[in-house]
């Protein structure tokens, strides 16, 4: 009985730590509870359904193998209040084994796409969207078809994939 309880606790701890990257968890821990900071988490099926309802099929094609999506929205004022910058967060992503794949400008927003490769088809993508008023962090676990994503008509400034 003692072995079953110990194994169960260990399994729960491992599954909980596997749910998101250290970078996303650090961003969430730093900013959650701040004014106008919002975080959500959805599984891949729900994400594809929402994109279908929003008639965003161009993006839906790129995420056919997504397991989960986590999103956090942080006002730039919260970054300043914490004495942090977006550049510092990007450095944290690099320390967490994320590689920058691409960045592009979409209207007034700078979008950076990072990849953390893992074995067994469990890659993590971190998309950082920076505007004058807010910063959005989106973590996607699974596989994203970058060719389909790039063919959505957005102008790519840099791409290394």
Question: Per-residue pLDDT tens for 98-145?
Answer: 999 888 887 888 989 899 987 665 788 898 999 999 999 989 888 777
Residue 94 contacts residue 142 (beta carbons within 8 Å): no
Asked if CATH classification 3.30.310 holds for the domain at 20-159, the reply, yes or no, is yes
Q: Is 9 exposed, middle or buried (0-12, 13-18, 19+ CB in 10 A)?
A: exposed
Burial of 30 (0-12, 13-18, 19+ CB in 10 A): middle
Write down the pTM of the prediction: 0.73
Over residues 7-30, the pLDDT tens digits come to 333 333 333 334 578 888 988 998
| Domain spans, the chain | 20-159
CB atoms within 10 A of CB 44: 17
């Amino acid at each position: 009985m003692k072995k079953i309880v110990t194994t169960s606790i260990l399994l729960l701890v491992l599954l909980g730590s596997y749910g998101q990257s250290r970078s996303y968890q650090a961003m969430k821990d730093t900013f959650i509870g701040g004014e106008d900071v919002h975080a959500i988490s959805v599984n891949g099926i729900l994400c594809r359904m929402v994109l279908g309802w929003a008639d965003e099929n161009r993006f839906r094609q790129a995420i056919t193998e997504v397991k989960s999506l986590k999103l956090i929205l942080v006002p730039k004022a919260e970054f300043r209040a914490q004495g942090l910058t977006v550049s510092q967060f990007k450095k944290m992503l690099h320390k967490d084994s994320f590689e920058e794949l691409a960045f592009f400008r979409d209207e007034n927003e700078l979008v950076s796409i990072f990849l953390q490769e893992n074995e067994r088809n469990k890659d993590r993508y971190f998309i950082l969207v920076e505007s004058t008023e807010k910063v959005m962090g989106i973590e996607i676990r699974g596989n994203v078809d970058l060719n389909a994503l790039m063919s959505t008509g957005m102008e790519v400034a840099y791409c290394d994939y």
